[in-house]
Amino acid sequence: MPRKKRQNDENSGCERIIPLGASSDKSSSASYPGNTISTSKYRWWSFLPLVTFEQFQKRANLYFTFITLLMYVGEHSTFIDSTVSWWSTAAVLIPMMGLSMIISGLDDLRRHQSDRQINSQQARVIRLGGKYGVYLDTFLWKNIHVGDVIVLKSDEELPADIVPLACSGSDGQCYVSTANLDGETNLKIKACATEAQAFLCEGHAHGPPLLDQAVEKLAVLDAALSVEAPSKSITKFSGSLNINHSGVQSTSSLSASNLLLRGTRLRNTAWLFGSVVYTGPHTRMVMNSRDIPTKMANLERVVNRAMLVVLGAQALLSSLSSILYVSTEYRFRTSWYLYPSGTWVTEGVASRLAANWFKFFILYSNLMPISLYATMEICNYAQAFFVKSDLLMYDEEQDCPAAVRSTNLCHELGQISYIFSDKTGTLTQNVMELKRVSISGQVFGEVTEEPGFSDVAGVHAWRQMGNQKHVDAFLEILAVAHTVMVTTDRKGSQCYEAESPDEGALVEGAKQMGWHYCSRTADSIAIDMHRQSQTYKILGVNTFNSTRKRMSSLVRSASGETWLLVKGADNVMMDRAEHVPAWLTQSLTNFSLSGLRTLVLGRRRLDEQEVQAWLQTYDAAQCALEDRDAKLEAAAEQIEVKLQMVGVTGIEDKLQVGVPDTITKLREAGIQLWVLTGDKLETARNIGFSTNLLSADMDIRVLEQSENVRHALQELASTALTPDEGGDSALMVTGAALEQVTSVGLLEEFLQASSVCSVVIACRVSPLQKAQLVRLVRESSDPQPVTLAIGDGANDVPMIQEAHVGVGVSGKEGRQAVNASDFAIAQFRFLERLLLVHGRWDYRRTCKFILYTFWRNAIITMLLFYYTFFSGYSGTCMFTSTVWTSFSMILFWPIIATGISDRDVTAKQAVEHPSLYETGRLGLDLNITKMVEMLLSAFVHSFVIMTIAVVAVMDLDVAATGSYYSFGFMVFSWVVLTMNYRATFITTTYNFVFLAALAVSFLTYLLFACVYCSLPSMFPEVYGTFQHVVRNPVFWMGSFAVPLLAVMIDMFKAYLMLEFFPDQRDLILEQSLQGKLSDIFRDTKHDPQRRGSRSSSFDRSATWHTGEMSAISSSYAFSFPEGQRVQSLGALPRLQRDSDTTLLDNLASGRPSPRPSPSFATIASSDSDSGGSTGTASSAAEPKLQKPRASNFSQQTMPSVQFALNRKVVLVALISSGVLFVLMGFATLLYSLSSSQFRVVYEAPDDWYVGAGESKKSYSGEILIRPCHEPQRCAFPITVPADLDPPIQVYYEVTPFLQNYYTYISSVAWQQLEGKNDVKAPVVCETRTRQTQQGEEIFPCGLMATSVFNDTFEIEGIPIDTESSDMPVWREFHNPPDYPERPNVSWLYERYPTVTSRALGIQSKRFIAWMLPNFLNRAGKPYGVVSQPLKKGQLITLHITSTFRVQALGATKTLLLTRGAQNYTLAYILLTSGALCSALVATVFAVYLSCGRQPGKPRQRLSGFSTNWRHGPEFDSTSSEEESSA
């Protein structure tokens, strides 16, 4: 039931008194929270505000929201004139944010479903009442409250934190698995409250099952639990149990061993019941749950810095444009057609600069790529999918694929400079076997590949030679001093359940040598010693922890002697030894040199008086209610003294398969490896040699604790060999030395000394020191070197979370490291493929789409900047708002395919040539140089596009295709072609994914163009534009010319880089294409020697294992809690009666067993994948549930074509481009020559006429000068200079005339032109253009409709048809339905009777042509068509009525008569481009003939010239190792 938050808060920090049994009171639990848990982030009412807040944590979303608001303010205020509609940005921003919100919502919905599944599980609860005073009932987990007594069977999960009251285990001992809580799969020993176990389980030998008796006695139990307030500590707990039995009060203290936590599972215990003490949010597991820290990828930091640079560039362009506008504003303010008469500048310069700065800042906002983050998320997701699906990183034995928990770090794997690795379980298998022993100095056993101890016969022989006392004392410690449990597996065989693999290996070794550990109870342990049974009484156990580094057992043998048996680490055991014999140190050294983990064994005999005195201290510590753990440690310190050294054990932890080769590859990739281990220095040194970390030719230095550690560090730094000096150095440092270095503040000096070493091994380091070392290297410089930490245990979590990238190995030390990691793999050898293949691929892919995205947006922005020079600096956008919005939608498909599936080299090549990895390690694909190169490329490409566009305008004007809308759409098409070409050029692998993406991009473009230009009701300004543009040959010429120019530029530049500065990837591709990959890239000088490593894959002994056991199987009858009493089972053995769970099974009669659900710990981290299964190897018959699919797509083995640039490709591209340029140039030239035209300039500024005469020649035809200043009517006799065949197009041109000026072009009521009522007319049309001085409505309104060109032209005797069907006017306007009867309206024919008639209205073609504004700063429009031929030399009389005012504008008016179109400039540019291609082809041949490089071979180093600027390796035969580790 719901609890109030106030009540929860009031009781969360108070000690709890919980009555039990007969004195239980349900009302006492009302003030505590319920048992419902919630891992979700949102509720239905908080989802929208919270997820919106999260979205605005991203800087890009904030930026574009700010831009959208600026646009909106600009559209609805006078301070800022936004030239781009606010919805053009919002239409992209909102879907992007919405998609992220939906993903967050779906993730949280999964959490809600998981929470619901967990909270709805069933639990058995003991209730008071019923026929027998007590009965069992089932409750949902969410309905459990504090004080409830719940009952569990083996293998069931605890629904809350409970104090166990009784169980089937002897003396109240039970076992739990805490894998869901702390990731450790080893079982933990717990105990019931002593007094409660004694009271409830005090049954008779022939009575009912023990569980039945205990449940019945619960009804008469009069007790109360007193427990501490809820806390996060899972290792500490204090409380007490008070029982009133027949008037006698008894109190027993409670410790952490008496608290079972939610999320743990009951193991190897038939049944248990206990009282709930903490529920829901107060349980230890919920209080300790936390999110994995969010890590930002290095490339994301680079992008953020790049965006700051982009922001600065955007501000600079805005400032420049604003200054240009303000400095020329007066000239445009005086133009009568742009601003109403009398409109003057009244604002100050500063306010005008600020207002226009914001206007241009909005215009250039596309410089910041709005789609970059969305593209990165999609590519990151796909890259993570490929990592998880890689069958070569799938472990068959564990059924464990690779897992990705942080998708944003996939490309980070390609930039690793440092690897920090744990040893045990990471480099080794964590399969422990006792290999060597030293008994009183006598050494037995050898390290062999055979499983088990190899010299049992030698031990027995030495024992029979009079050394029985020494051997038995040694084996006695191994077989007796431990906490191992004897269990049975599914096959019924006996096996050992150990808290640590080391302990299991020692007990197994003792068994092989004749001391067979058989069973144990709470206070005894049974041993079969050479087939003679012997029982030891356990008086006390001092447990192991990381601080004590030892454990001891106080036991009494069958002979009555009391011994303290101790085993522990060498340093702590020597400190407590009565005497340290010489053989001990020698044995430790020898075992360590063999790479074995060592333990020292000792013992001490105690007299009865000392035993009793210590037991009093021990019992008092056990019963202590406060500081119990500290008192127990103090008690152990008191007795663990004056130990007699008995022997030394050497345990082998075998190397994992492939570890030496993997380390060799990683070192060849230039990655520095740091191994951080808790082993001795000698052990770590030996492991270093066996794993190829260390080699014989290395300069190995050791840093140990010393009096002058500063001097030692200086000596290390000054004498260590660096790779540049022809050698490698390694540093070995101890944990004590690190503590000393830290305490005296010499971390920087230590880092300097270690930086010259390719390998660092730190020994005897704690988890905290591991994290400190990672942080030290990580923060050593700016930018930070990318670090990776890999480990498999809970002690590796701090360094995994501290590193840039954390990798968890799903080994045998639990799931804690995997749950805290960013990536999870099953074997260390998979790290080679994870970094060298996936990491490198993903880094290069990510860099490509980042640079491409910035390049694409830079081109668009530069085009807008260029266009301001042709639009009077008014800020007119070259593209409409809809086209602006479509760029991201159309262009992101191909680059996403590149970011997902591009591969510059194959996986095999990447592994065989590890030095390729330096590309990412040195950041060669994304840096300042690459950004500058990208900006220069964007400048060149945008200049090419703009040049072709401006040159083509004349021809387009003649075809009436040069309007602002049609030409903007044409440039948009050329940009799409160029950018898709660019995506193709930077892509190396062409597969069906890329080809499909390219096709989708073009199909999206076609669909957008057709739909956008076919909806007059929505987009009247562009209606029919696309259909008209594609009919013009210039459109297709530009569609070929623009990409071909880009090809020419990119190909030649790439060829020069390939020829003179090839990198290793280029050479490998060349070799691959020739089919003869050479070995010149392999390191032959410093290739570490391949040593036979002991990376055995033998399974451990089948008689013991760590991990979780299966449930105890049983077969029981059924009954109901309210039914008849369970009958006595007669003379069943006591063990079987104690384990009888018939009472619990009866409760579930007729009901299906609840399906196991995921644990809370799993759900709490369900944002990511797990790393696979744990435990022992799966049976061969079991299906591989997590094995990835073997499709070509998931394995990245799709059929593909590998693109590799070479001389032949460059020549083919340049020659093909040159031929096409020449063909298009000649076609344009011939077309221009076949056309004929002449011009008549009839009005111009006075200074224009100076020296002009009556005519002048031009390459485009003769220009006749016939002045006719407005307002007047003139007649001129003209001799036709060339033959003109009908139909002859008549055009007029006013230059300059800014129809593309923003205030002018935006002052059009398009709905009026469609014959509809335009509600936006009062907004787009200012008052002077909407209403006459007499108060009449102007129709149509707007600046453009009230400044129509109204000069007239007539040729005497030859009619000019101004409504001819041959006029290149494809648009149609419509008069309103009430035209022309609507009263009080000033119609167009009334204002401009020479332009249109009453019958035509706004349907006049002259008016339609005028209303389609020109792209550039001139008004060139069709006037009419002459249907009669004009012959050369024919005399005609031209009548001109000049009424259109241009004198104040300083403009020129021209009349053009033409047959066809002429564009000699475009022809010359195309021919020049063809000639340039020829020159480039000649250059390529010249380079090849004079100093050509042989394909696949590096260019020899030139004297006095270095290629280091490119940061690439120089591939001579003697420097490969130097360059790979530079």
Q: Consult the annotation and say whether 472 binds a ligand.
A: no
| SS3 state at 578 | coil
Question: Is the torsion defined by CA of 467, 470, 473, 474 positive or negative?
Answer: negative
Q: Both ends of the chain: CA-CA distance in Å?
A: 65
Tokens of 242: 């008070």
**Which residues sit opposite 983 in a β-bridge?**
none
- Helices 964-986 and 928-958, packing angle to 10 deg: 140
Rounded Cα distance between 1136 and 1122, Å, is 25
Other CB atoms within 10 Å distance of the CB of residue 15: 11
Rounded Cα distance between 215 and 234, Å, is 29
Rounded Cα distance between 1165 and 290, Å, is 9
Q: What is the CA radius of gyration of the chain?
A: 43
Q: Strand order in 173-177's β-sheet?
A: 187-191, 173-177, 265-267
Q: Consult the annotation and say whether 455 binds a ligand.
A: no
Rounded Cα distance between 426 and 826, Å, is 9
Please answer whether residues 163 and 193 qualify as being in contact, where contact means their C-beta atoms are separated by less than 8 angstroms: yes
Cis peptide leading into 783, omega within 30 of 0? Answer: yes
Please answer whether residues 1490 and 1072 qualify as being in contact, where contact means their C-beta atoms are separated by less than 8 angstroms: no
Kindly state the DSSP code that residue 859 receives in the 8-state scheme.
H
Q: Consult the annotation and say whether 796 binds a ligand.
A: yes
**Ramachandran angles phi, psi of 1453, nearest 5°:** -110, 135
Please answer whether residues 222 and 249 qualify as being in contact, where contact means their C-beta atoms are separated by less than 8 angstroms: no
Rounded Cα distance between 579 and 441, Å, is 14
Rounded Cα distance between 216 and 1121, Å, is 11
What residues act catalytically?
422
Kindly state the DSSP code that residue 410 receives in the 8-state scheme.
T
Smallest CA-to-CA distance from 978 within 889, 879, 1045, 881 is with 1045
Kindly state the DSSP code that residue 395 receives in the 8-state scheme.
B
Please answer whether residues 901 and 1196 qualify as being in contact, where contact means their C-beta atoms are separated by less than 8 angstroms: yes
Q: Consult the annotation and say whether 222 binds a ligand.
A: no
Tokens of 620: 């008092």
- Helices 47-55 and 86-119, packing angle to 10 deg: 120
Chain-centroid distance, C-alpha 140: 38
Q: Consult the annotation and say whether 448 binds a ligand.
A: no
Cis peptide leading into 1281, omega within 30 of 0? Answer: no
Amino acid present at 1020: P
Q: Consult the annotation and say whether 795 binds a ligand.
A: yes
Task: From residue 290, give the alpha-carbon distance in Å to each of 46, 284, 543, 819.
Answer: 20, 12, 29, 11
Q: Consult the annotation and say whether 829 binds a ligand.
A: no
Q: Strand order in 1435-1442's β-sheet?
A: 1272-1279, 1435-1442, 1352-1355
Q: Consult the annotation and say whether 52 binds a ligand.
A: no
Please answer whether residues 423 and 677 qualify as being in contact, where contact means their C-beta atoms are separated by less than 8 angstroms: yes
Exposure b/e, 739-777, CB count within 10 A at least 16 = b: ebbeeeebbebbbebbbbbbbbbbbbbbbebbbbbbbbb
Please answer whether residues 622 and 616 qualify as being in contact, where contact means their C-beta atoms are separated by less than 8 angstroms: no
Q: Consult the annotation and say whether 677 binds a ligand.
A: yes
Tokens of 558: 């069958």
Amino acid present at 1249: Y
Q: Consult the annotation and say whether 567 binds a ligand.
A: yes
Please answer whether residues 496 and 1104 qualify as being in contact, where contact means their C-beta atoms are separated by less than 8 angstroms: yes
Q: What pairing do the DSSP bridges indicate for beta strands 494-497 and 1104-1105?
A: parallel
Q: Consult the annotation and say whether 422 binds a ligand.
A: yes
Please answer whether residues 148 and 154 qualify as being in contact, where contact means their C-beta atoms are separated by less than 8 angstroms: no
Q: Consult the annotation and say whether 503 binds a ligand.
A: yes
Other CB atoms within 10 Å distance of the CB of residue 173: 22
Q: Consult the annotation and say whether 116 binds a ligand.
A: no
Binding site listing: 422-424, 503, 544, 567, 597, 677-679, 764, 770, 792, 795-796
Residue ranges for the known binding site for ATP are 422-424, 503, 544, 567, 597, 677-679, 764, 770, 795-796
> Which parts are annotated binding residues for Mg(2+)?
422, 424, 792, 796
